[in-house]
Structure 1
Amino acid sequence: MTEPRRGRPRTPLLSRESIVAATLQVIDAEGVAGVGMRSVARAIGVDAKSLYNHVDGKDGLLDAVAEHLLGGLVLPEPTGDACRDLRAIAQAFRARALAHPGAAPLVLTRQLSSLEGLAPVDAVLEVLLAAGASAQESVHLLRMLLATLIGTLLREVSAAPTFGGADGARRGALQASGLPAVVRTAPHLAEFDREAEFEYTVDLAVTAVLTRIDLQTAR
């Protein structure tokens, strides 16, 4: 009977994909703050130094995750209806950001120059240009839309589970504040329907953008 060969255990196969998967594992367990070369290497079972052959430090890890998530973004086919197209892009962006809520801030805030990072930007600019906005105006409107979308999504993923809960505790605290406008609107301030808030925000932003384009083109 041949005895099994003994020696050093095999090193797990390293690739950018395996590193991204391990980084997401760390994020899901500890949040973005827990990401580091050592924590990711520990999740894979390798020495942290070996990661440098694939990513450039912690920023490289975070960019790789953001690119991975954006790379999975399924952009809708343009219909020629600017309102419908902008809303569809926003919905696709939200769906991808919420795929890993802990990693959502990376998708929303990392400034990427890769194809994955620029594809959503290009899609929005195409719609704005086709709607009649100039190149310069399109960039201004793009930045406003992104700021609005990022703000509402960051609020959605970071809101505590009890925020807008049905137990009435928040409503009671608001009504007890003694501030007239807060007391008057307390029932609504105490509620937080994520889907409704997102729809309202996107609808308002898209309406403002298209109204702006109409005003500019009418001059």
Structure 2
Amino acid sequence: MVRSGGRKGQPSICSMSQVCRPSSLTIATSPIVKKAERALKNANRQLNARLAQIEQLQSELREQAQRDPLTSLFNRRYLSETMERELKLAKREKKPLSVIVMDIDRFKKINDSHGHRLGDEFLTEIAKLLQNHARGSDVICRYGGEEFLIVMPGANARTARKRAEQLRVHCEAMRIAHNGKELRVTLSFGVATYPTHGREGEEIVIKADKALYKSKRRGRNCVTLWEENKG
């Protein structure tokens, strides 16, 4: 015998002695509901996969915006951002920061005599050389056409100058085969350091660049450390 009672909207089952108890009724899920649930789960999976693809693409685009397309080194735009960041850190931690600027000697002659393809090969090989001999904290950039720049957090002038000399020797020993000949290039270097040679990033880079051109005037294939009284 069934009688209305119990919780609202729930029927009660009564025995012959009129003692009633609520019943539990199981309502079967319809095939239409099950199908809709499966479709919703599938749509969520597809949406999550698509969002992951978009996030990956955005990450790749950010990386491309920071890199030189030929050498894969950081570009000049990224240099501005990293110099500001690293200099703030150096000031806060009271540590030095050095900049090495280098330029391929007589690079125009290489392009004019052997073509831009060989010039590009030298650029990419020098980029690899710089990466192979970098510390984990170094930031290596392609600063101009045939000019490169390294930011060395925590390195004083002596350490940076020694690193530049090592790179000069490695580059001088490098050879590239072309039309049955082995060709080589040399690099000229300029070095400047915070806080010895300046307090701001742009000032350090400018002085390292001036020291580089002093290396050019000295005969190329050498390293020059900026000196205030000999600027």
Q: TM-score range by the shorter chain?
A: 0.3 to 0.5
Normalised to the residue count of structure 1, the TM-score between the two structures is 0.33
Point out the structure with the larger helix share.
Answer: 1
Which structure would you say has the larger Rg?
2
Normalised to the residue count of structure 2, the TM-score between the two structures is 0.31
